[in-house]
Amino acid sequence: MRLFCAIELPQEIKEKLAAAQSELVQPGIKLVEKENLHITLSFFGEVGEKDVKKLQAALSAVEFHPLEISMRGVGAFPNLKFPNVVFANAGCAQLAQLVQGINSAVEKSKVPVQKEEKEFHAHVTLARVKGGANISGFAQKYSAFDFGPFIAKKFVLKKSALSTAGSKYETIKQ
């Protein structure tokens, strides 16, 4: 099963992000459903059934303290001129340390997982872009927009099921 670690967002933050997302509706842009908005910490890819319990045990050993996360501004991967992914920034210096702790614990567990190739950038994916849609007006309006802060009290292990209707996420370990 496809697994990843994430921080879930409070409903109030999801509502603010969804309100901004509504301005992205145009051909070539697929919005992430409001209930699926989250901060991905580590994507593990396909993990065999027999390894899930080992992965859960490894993650249980990761030290976690509540984190204040500030949701401010938007951006795009690879860039705003040629976006593939539109995101909201998640600001918190300790998130990178948490990701290192998660990755280190998983590596020690010897559970075979997909290695992250890109440097960690804390964000919430708002939309995926195909065909060169123009998001410059959206980016300008929300470049410094404050979606609000929140306290993350935990991280979770989630399962991702892909379908033609989009991804469905299910929390399997809190």
Which amino acids are annotated catalytic? Answer: 38, 123
Place of tokens 């399997």: 172
Rounded Cα gap, residues 33 and 20, in angstroms: 13
CA angle 80, 82, 87 (to 5 degrees): 45
Instruction: Collect all residues with Cβ–Cβ distance below 8 Å to 112 and sequence separation of at least 6.
Output: 47, 48, 51
* Cβ atoms of 132 and 54 closer than 8 Å: no
3-state secondary structure at position 112:
coil
Nearest to 138 by CA among 64, 83, 95: 83
What DSSP element (H or E) covers 28?
A: none
For 74, other C-beta atoms within 10 Å of its C-beta total 26
Rounded Cα gap, residues 170 and 80, in angstroms: 31
